[in-house]
Amino acid sequence: MRNVKRIMSRVVAIIIATLTLTSCYHTTPRQHEANTGAFYQKHHYAQNYNFVVKADSLALLRQLPEELLNGLTTDSFFVEKGNRLVVVDIRLLKNDPIDSVWVQVARDQYTFGWVHESKLLPNVVPDDPISQFISTFSDTHLLVFLIIISVIAISYLVHSIRQKHVKAVHFNDIDSFYPTLLALTVATAATFYSSIQIFAPETWRHFYYHPSLNPFAVPMIISVFLVSVWSIIIIMIATIDDVLHKLPAWHALLYLCGLGAVCAANYIIYSITTLYYVGYLLLIAYFVYAIKHYVHNNYYKYSCGKCGAKMKRKGICKKCGTINE
């Protein structure tokens, strides 16, 4: 009986000692653990977010980043372009002189690695088609390509207009306001796009990581931009249909190619100049110029008494040859 009491006394003593030590132990958060809520508000992504590698390759550290900072032996491996990555963990290492944010990503259940956020983000794109489209149109190489194509196309247009045998928006235009409206809408959308970059960069960045085509599911400033994008699509469809009805197939193709070059030039010019606040003045001048030229080239005061064709002045109808006096 005494032995039983001794054993029970020792068990109770051990339990009390364990509880005492546990209650006295205070865990302090490690400096490398990111506050998920605060991190998400600032960086717009968190654990379980999906990326796609857009660079040719991306190097990942196999070991913990602390081992690299402490000078221990480490090795790395590469993930290739097109690989999908998911964010597994995020650590903040304030003693890292390069970048305090380390991100652990996984390609699959067997392939994990760490990388600086400053190296990760330029080499990946969110796993969403809208984000990938935005990334493509923001690419410097694409802008250079568009500039070259636009210069070539516009040079050909100027030459053709001088020869008086090709229709072109803003110059020898057709009797339709849709092409002019499309060009103006593209210029406005490009100006508004750059304005968001200037005045609401974090709002745009959040939209980039969490995109939507629904204008009613995003902040007001993004909603206005999305409305302009949807307007471009609708006006473009109406423009193509109208041009094909007003011009022969070959001339319609040339006209639409020229219009595409003008729209590409508008996108480049206004998205860049707006960053330096010059784009706003250029946009106003462009509206005045485009509308003035459309009215001048497409104002028809008369119509043919026989076939009903529109005429700027009395005389011989160009369509049927009837003399109108």
DSSP letter for each residue of 116-179: EHHHHGGGEEESSHHHHHHHHHT-HHHHHHHHHHHHHHHHHHHHHHHTT----TTSS--S-SHH
pTM (two decimals) = 0.78
Which helix (DSSP H) or strand (DSSP E) does residue 59 occupy?
strand 57-61
The three-class DSSP label of residue 308 is coil
Report pLDDT digits (tens) over 56-82: 999 999 999 999 999 999 999 999 999
How much is the pLDDT for 29? 37
User: pLDDT 10s digit of each residue in the chain, 325 long?
Assistant: 444 444 444 544 444 444 333 333 333 334 445 656 889 989 999 999 999 999 999 999 999 999 999 999 999 999 999 999 999 999 999 999 999 999 999 999 999 999 999 999 999 999 999 999 999 878 766 677 777 777 777 676 676 666 666 788 888 788 889 999 999 999 999 999 999 999 999 999 999 999 999 999 999 999 999 999 999 999 999 999 999 998 989 889 888 988 988 898 899 899 999 999 999 999 999 999 999 988 877 766 666 666 666 666 666 766 676 666 6
How much is the pLDDT for 31? 42
The three-class DSSP label of residue 183 is helix
How much is the pLDDT for 297? 75
Dihedral over Cα of 162, 265, 192, 271: its sign: negative
- Across-strand partners of 102? 91, 116
How much is the pLDDT for 11? 40
Report pLDDT digits (tens) over 202-224: 999 999 999 999 999 999 999 99
| Secondary structure in 3-state letters for 93-114 | CCCCCCCCEEEEEEEECCEEEE
Task: Output the CA angle 130-134-138, nearest 5 degrees.
Answer: 170
Is the CB of residue 167 less than 8 Å from the CB of residue 174? yes
How much is the pLDDT for 13? 46
